[in-house]
Structure 1
């Protein structure tokens, strides 16, 4: 019988084979007897390898939902603080939307005004 290292568990009782906990899971103990002793990577952390002794903290501007095997970069104009399970829209996104709406309304107003002038001329 062999003692399985961190990030692994005994494949079956009485064998020397150890299985990895797998991506999205970790185990910081030696001697895990079953997969149930592997801990799911919780929200805000990621477990990228097949054998993880610890969960890694999700970096800034990335999202890490539960059972993450990778830190996923936030999309354009979105952000996330460290240890975040999800990205949110950055305030700059709302400014860009407001500017686009204002320009669109100004163009529509100019077109309507020009059409109205031609119709009354």
Structure 2
């Protein structure tokens, strides 16, 4: 697959996110703390939590969230089949729109998977 859907979205959002983060640093610090607390391993491991976040991103139709959580899910060891099954649940819960955003999310996941998601270059 030669798509750069996930990477392109992350790169597009990076400067925009950085500018807003500089304008409201306290809000971003608080969000980062929430992010880290929600995704740390507990009864559910980090991979499962990233796949949940990935699926919610599909349901919310958030390209940036899909790209970021695809990347993070790969870093946590998720496979394309696990990502596809998580997307499949969004079809059940979100209907037709999930079939469109699910395809976009799967492209972003596969791109991150093929690249090995070795660097943490998701926008924060």
Alignment TM-score, normalising by the size of structure 2: 0.18
- Greater relative contact order, per chain length (Cα 8 Å cut-off, separation 6+): 2
Bigger Rg, which one: 1
> Higher strand share goes to which structure?
1
